[in-house]
Structure 1
Amino acid sequence: METPIIHIKELYKKYKDSEDFSVQNLNLEIQEKEIFGLLGPNGAGKTTLISMLCGLIKPTSGKFTIDSLSYDKNATQIKNKIGVVPQEYALYPTLTARENLRYFGSMYGLKGKELCLKVDNSLEHLGLLKFADKKVETFSGGMKRRVNLIAGILHNPKVLFLDEPTVGVDVQSKNVIIDYLKELNAGGTTIIYTSHHLTEAQDFCTHIAIIDRGTIYAQGTPEGLVAQTPNAHNLEDVFISLTGKELRDDA
């Protein structure tokens, strides 16, 4: 049996001054080359889990590996293997798209002609080359999303973490982003994806885990989860069945 690219065992996280665990007794395996959807309501623990996997915060207890490596011993190696595309734009608004991407590419160790070619090819692939020398602050939401995505994948990561990659974009930009992500996955990149767009997740993901109150409630293929949930016709029905109809407003 193949070793999972991400292996999580008995993971817990409790923030200082918090009474409850944000993540508790979480066990999960993600296989290489999957498009893995991590779905849950507000406050379910998705962001906390992703933040731990990206090395931004430390677990309270438990352990995990990425490509058989742990942060305790291999933090630099792991950071070179992963890409992160946050929900908030990680871009400098007064710089051009090309300037932003050359800067982020240089942080991954890319330089010279290789960096310039990689940036321009990526901009062209996502329909942005003609806007390469315009400041990002003049871009639409969909254009910013596409630049944000390129910034996270210039170094060809083995694992890509995506937080709401299509939120607030037009239909055309959404389709371009999803198609590009499918191309990356076909090329061998494992994708970990969080979203509130359940229809999109059902069509896009090869495997899904539904998380709530810091633990995994169910996991499987989208089709399998729908089939095993009574009276469910789609992933939204599964989601409501597992997490309830209670509002999860968070101020």
Structure 2
Amino acid sequence: MPAVIEVHNLHKSYGDTVAVDDVSLTVQEGEIFGILGPNGAGKTTTVECVEGLRRPDRGEISVLGLDPQRDRAELTQQLGVQLQDGELPGRLKVGEALTLYGSFYRTPADPRALMETLGLADKSSTRCGKLSGGQRQRLSIALALIGNPRVAVLDELTTGLDPQARRDTWQLIEDVRARGVTILLVTHFMEEAERLCDRIALIDMGRTVVVDTPAGLTERVQTEQRIHFRPSVPFDDRLLTGLPEVTGVVHRGDVVVVTGNDNALNAVTSVLARNNIVARQLRVEQAGLEDAFVALTGRRPENERHASRNRPGRN
């Protein structure tokens, strides 16, 4: 499929602070492409250069065949943007905001249809300052789409939302993609990236660490399988530690945790069955995107509470 965004060897500094050291990525038409990384990794600076809001020190950027600096006026007609720190006047009404933003575009979407699609039909006369967190995010998406863009950039869209509002927003993003809009999604939430993204650029310390699918990133990590269960009767650990597929057995109260390779589950359950031991509440943990993140960056991602409390203005 044709590329709609191409970034090659992007660099951007603010004084002595290097925000983006060497970022390259390509976004294909129709995909949800994620930029994943910790706070301060250079994610927002990267997308601001893509949007034309920042002028890079060096590197090449093409969006829909346009240069974000030279062709900015034309690009704004085809690119929808939800800014990380966008703020609307509290007294402005939802319908008024969409009408105002729509006036900036040659062929805007119908504000009423957009509100209906995004679950804001009954909020047209509601002041922006009265909206809940989830409703504000729906409005952010609507404002990014009011110009009928071919590409939408969504920056830290669900930070600060409760889990249900976050999942509702994820569904909206999938619906937007179904309408034919290519999405560039900036996030530091592992679950969000796994749920939504076709491919991910993992960025850390201003550099592109790797670009791959969520499954591809996970496959890069040689992580042990973890098997949790409550045995129906006590047993000698040597029953399992003697298996070549098992690397360790530990007890956490009445729960047994077995670590091992990809074949450990079959080996463990077979031995337990032969010895008439029932593995109750059996649960298996496989390597996930967070494991890949830790392996590739050497540090853990921020959890939701930390990120919401300490969210910086730019990253």
TM-score (norm: length of structure 2): 0.72
Structure-2 change in CA distance of 1:44 and 1:125 (3 Å) = same
Residue 158 of structure 1: how far off its partner (Å): 0.9
Q: What is residue 61 of structure 2 aligned with on the other side?
A: 64
1:30 to 2:27 alignment: yes
- Contact map agreement 1:208 1:220 (CA 8 A) in 2: yes
Residue 214 of structure 1: how far off its partner (Å): 0.9
Alignment RMSD: 2.1
Q: What is residue 244 of structure 2 aligned with on the other side?
A: none
- Contact map agreement 1:126 1:176 (CA 8 A) in 2: no
Structure-2 change in CA distance of 1:250 and 1:134 (3 Å) = closer
Residue 172 of structure 1: how far off its partner (Å): 3.9
* Richer in helix (by share): 1
Deviates more, 1:48-57 or 1:194-203: 194-203
1:245 to 2:245 alignment: no
Q: What is residue 36 of structure 2 aligned with on the other side?
A: 39
Deviations 1:37-89 (A, max 9, x none): 10111111101101100101101011110112113442222111111112224
What is the letter of the counterpart of residue 165 of structure 1?
L
Partners of 1:230 and 1:238 lie apart in 2 by: 9
Partners of 2:80 and 2:13 lie apart in 1 by: 25
Q: What is residue 118 of structure 2 aligned with on the other side?
A: 126
Structure-2 change in CA distance of 1:247 and 1:73 (3 Å) = closer
- Contact map agreement 1:41 1:243 (CA 8 A) in 2: no
Partners of 2:301 and 2:169 lie apart in 1 by: 30
Q: What is residue 77 of structure 2 aligned with on the other side?
A: 80
User: Could you say what secondary structure the match of 2:141 adopts?
Assistant: helix
Q: What is residue 5 of structure 1 aligned with on the other side?
A: 4
User: Could you say what secondary structure the match of 2:18 adopts?
Assistant: coil
Residue 180 of structure 1: how far off its partner (Å): 2.0
Partners of 2:167 and 2:311 lie apart in 1 by: 30
TM-score (norm: length of structure 1): 0.89
Unaligned runs of 5+ in 1: none
- Contact map agreement 2:194 2:214 (CA 8 A) in 1: yes
Q: What is residue 47 of structure 2 aligned with on the other side?
A: 50
Q: Which has the higher contact order (CA 8 A, sep 6+)?
A: 1
Q: What is residue 92 of structure 2 aligned with on the other side?
A: 95
1:160 pairs, out of 149, 152, 156, with 152
Unaligned runs of 5+ in 2: 224-285, 303-309
Partners of 1:30 and 1:247 lie apart in 2 by: 24
- Contact map agreement 1:120 1:129 (CA 8 A) in 2: yes
1:206 to 2:205 alignment: no
Structure-2 change in CA distance of 1:188 and 1:100 (3 Å) = same
- Contact map agreement 2:33 2:198 (CA 8 A) in 1: yes
Deviations 1:15-37 (A, max 9, x none): 1x22x421123221111111011
Partners of 1:109 and 1:70 lie apart in 2 by: 20
1:234 to 2:288 alignment: yes
Partners of 1:3 and 1:190 lie apart in 2 by: 11
Larger radius of gyration: 2
Deviations 1:95-129 (A, max 9, x none): 1111111111112245xxx76xx111121222221
Partners of 2:112 and 2:30 lie apart in 1 by: 26
